Amino acid sequence: MDLAKEMTKEALPIKCLEAVILGIYLTNSMPNLERFPISFKTYFSGNYFRHIVLGVNFGGRYGALGMSRREDLMYKPPAFRTLSELVLDYEAAYGRCWHVLKKVKLGQCVSHDPHSVEQIEWKHSVLDVERLGRDDFRKELERHARDMRLKIGKGMGPPSPTKDRKKDISSPQRAQSSPHRRNSRSERRPSGEKKPSEPKAMPDLNGYQIRV
């Protein structure tokens, strides 16, 4: 989120990926708004092009936040009943500028905790539009939407690694302190003698990667 703070401070021109990061940052305080990345790969005039937006779900309706030189390839109001309707609307917009949609990558919902160390899952589902065909493409989009709803219903999966880490560090300290309470008065140290301080174990962060 440091990148998003820098963007709001400097107010410099940004591209579509930076707009997604900024959208996540600005909507972190809206717990009823679910956010997930949607990226597109298109083909036009011998070249491939990539674009990404932040898909949103509010009140059971889908929309998107994003930035593009074309008005119909960025912001979409949360008015689409299904995820497939939203993605197909983007496909139609690409068709109006003679781009052929080749692939769609869908991520999972992003945590609203700005201090979470969970990584953003950018491509939970990778859909090859031509290989799947129209009907299977729709089915895969709705399958991904169901997966997101199930994950939200389960409380976004397992607890944040940040919370687990705190429990792992604190529980041994509690276990060590209990024998001191059971010591008799005669076994206690003299008042002038100080107990040597034990070095605190530093958490191992090698297994985690800070989310952007």
Catalytic site positions: 16, 51, 68
Q: DSSP code of 1?
A: -
Total Cβ atoms within 10 A of residue 141: 21
Nearest CA to 129 among 96, 98, 104?
A: 104
**Helix runs in the chain, H state only:** 2-10, 16-26, 83-96, 129-132, 134-153, 161-182
Q: Which residues are within 8 A (CB) of 23 and not within 5 positions of it... i.e. 6 or more apart?
A: 35, 54, 65, 66
- 85: β partners: none
